[in-house]
Amino acid sequence: MIKELHEKLIKKQISAKELAKQYLDNIKNKNQILNAFITITEQQALEQAEKIDELIVREEKLPVLAGIPASIKDVIMTEGIQTTAGSQILKNYVAPYDASLVKKLKEQGMVLLGKNNCDEFAMGGSGENSSFGPTKNPYDLTRVSGGSSSGSAVAVAAGLSVYSIGTDTGGSVRQPAAFCGVVGFKPTYGAISRYGLIAMASSLDQAGIIAKCIEDVEIVFDCVKGKDRLDSTSLEFPISNESFAFIPQNCGMSAEPPQFPNKSQNSNFKFKDFKVGVPREYFIKGLNKEVEQAVKDVIEKAQELGAKIIDVSLPNSEYALAVYYIIMPSEASANLARYDGIRYGNSPREKYFGDEVKRRIMLGAYALSAGYYDAYYKKAQQVRTLIRQDFEKVLDQVDILITPTTPSPAFKLGEKIADPLQMYLEDIFTVPVNVAGLPAISMPCGKTKNNLPIGVQLIGKWLEDSKLLTVAKKIEDVVKYINN
Ligand code: GLN
């Protein structure tokens, strides 16, 4: 989609301003119902679009994302724009600087339409924890959109932005993508700088991309990935495997504009002898039957095309949820200590923090307290190593893993909000990936009888993000084939 829009822009079939207006109109028409945006930056968007139009008139080389309307989850800092993290404690907080990834996108000529709604401090799996009200699922307005990047997934699904940047600490990019029928990609931990992300759990947080197709995700990823001196955990981003390699990208506006991934370079990918691992722990009792069938159909089709399907086991995955819900609140309780109403945030805290945030601060403070540190936090870190080792072992034998993204399709608004444990179970297939720091993607693989989207998750090896995206494109073809 980005590629087509880019071509239309350079051929002057549409101006960047007209394109921005189309999307802003969509937002005006639908946002009141869907609640996908907390802040709409109409004025800035139109000004940015005008600048791009000037480049087009002068026939200057146009960077790949120039003029493409996008949105950003409201836990990511955007200079001069209200950035709330979905919380009343940061209501009216205006970010004094851009997150590194935002800076990179601006260098590309992004047209920023606004900031997407999300669960408060990215804590949630349904979008219902936002203090700005829940985001509704465009496929069924009585259902949740998934979370915590709820507004990002809905904005893309409903045509309110072309792509959005979300964050994924335990599934928050992949799970809403699955519920809303779009693609959600969480790269290897460290692939995209965390500088300027409002921290939830620093050893798990990772920015990710939500878009309509894998190619769009790939284009945006190429522009935001790589080492950032402002985030010491960010990584130089190697191209993992020559046969899957894309053209090396250089995304600075000042330098040569990046090129689109070259199709012919990827076309040498064949399913033949490609090894797909199917972890048996992800096909458990309680998994929704329609979700199970849709994922199995993808696996079967991949096999018909020559992939070797291998039954694998990740025995410690069953502890991933418990490990996550100790490590994440522990880190969150430390990160959120800064909202003391003096340095940051509206005061008093007890009034402006929502229930889920308070719950996690208390859980985290408890797990880290002197008497319990060894029993909880330390133990959880030890099991985290075992989970990671399971993946290491299995990913030595196979190229990727295929699993469902979520145990069920989108559930009803209000269905789980009163029962945090039920809600946490929604993350069962996504959190192991963050605990291990792996790249993973959720992509649509079908619909239920009620027309609700179903997501399939592909998990790749560390740093082999581009290979994962290449395989995902092939699976995308498989899914199209099944659905036709
Ligand atoms: N649903 C998970 C949680 O509530 C994941 C959140 C996230 O990835 N930001 O913690």
pLDDT at 265 (0 to 100): 45
Q: Quick check: is 161 catalytic?
A: no
Residue 128: pLDDT above 80? yes
Task: From the candidates 145, 148, 193, 234, give the one annotated as an active-site residue.
Answer: 148
The pLDDT, as a whole number, for residue 186 is 98
**Between 274 and 75, whose confidence is greater?**
75
Span from the CA of 387 to the centroid of ligand 1 (angstroms): 18
The catalytic position among 130, 172, 193, 442 is 172
pLDDT score recorded for residue 272: 81
Q: Is the pLDDT of residue 241 over 80?
A: no
Q: What is the pLDDT of residue 335?
A: 97
Share of the chain above pLDDT 70, in %: 94
Q: How does pLDDT run across 430-457, given as a tens digit for each residue?
A: 999 999 999 999 999 999 999 999 999 9
Asked if residue 77 has pLDDT above 50, the reply is yes
Q: For residue range 129-188, list pLDDT tens digits in order.
A: 999 999 999 999 999 999 999 999 999 999 999 999 999 999 999 999 999 999 999 999
Q: Which of 427, 430, 434, 457 to mutate to test the pocket of ligand 1 (most atoms within 8 A of CB)?
A: 427
Active site residue 148: yes
Across 398-404, average pLDDT: 97
Is 169 close to ligand 1, i.e. is its CB under 6 Å away?
Answer: yes
The predicted structure's pLDDT at residue 268: 65
The predicted pLDDT at position 264 comes to 42
Mean pLDDT of 380-393: 97
The pLDDT of residue 135: 98
- pLDDT tens per residue, range 190-211: 999 999 999 999 999 999 999 9
pLDDT at res. 211: 98
Residue 208 Cβ < 6 Å to ligand 1: no
* Mean pLDDT within 355-360: 96
User: Is the Cβ atom of 172 under 6 angstroms away from ligand 1?
Assistant: yes
Q: What is the pLDDT of residue 403?
A: 98
pLDDT of residue 310: 97
Q: What is the dihedral of CA 415, 121, 165, 176, to 10 degrees?
A: -10
pTM of the model: 0.94
Q: Find out whether the beta carbon of 123 lies less than 6 Å from any atom of ligand 1.
A: yes
Mean pLDDT of the chain: 92
Report whether 174 contacts 448 (CB < 8 A). no
Percentage above 90 pLDDT, the chain: 86
Contact of 299 with 276, CB cutoff 8 Å: yes
Q: Which of the two residues, 44 and 238, has the higher pLDDT score?
A: 44
Q: Find the mean pLDDT for residues 112-119.
A: 98
Q: Is the pLDDT of residue 263 over 80?
A: no
Would the pLDDT of 245 be above 80? no
Does any ligand 1 atom lie closer than 6 A to the CB of residue 356?
Answer: no
State the distance from the centre of ligand 1 to the C-alpha of 184, rounded, in angstroms. 14
171 Cβ inside 6 Å of ligand 1: yes
Tokens, residue 101: 């990834």
258-272, 412-426, 465-479: segment of lowest average pLDDT: 258-272
Residue 320 has pLDDT above 80, yes or no: yes
> pLDDT for 43-62, tens place per residue?
999 999 999 999 999 998 89
What is the model's pLDDT at position 267? 54
pLDDT of the residue at 239 = 54
Distance, CA of 275 to CA of 168 (rounded, Å): 27
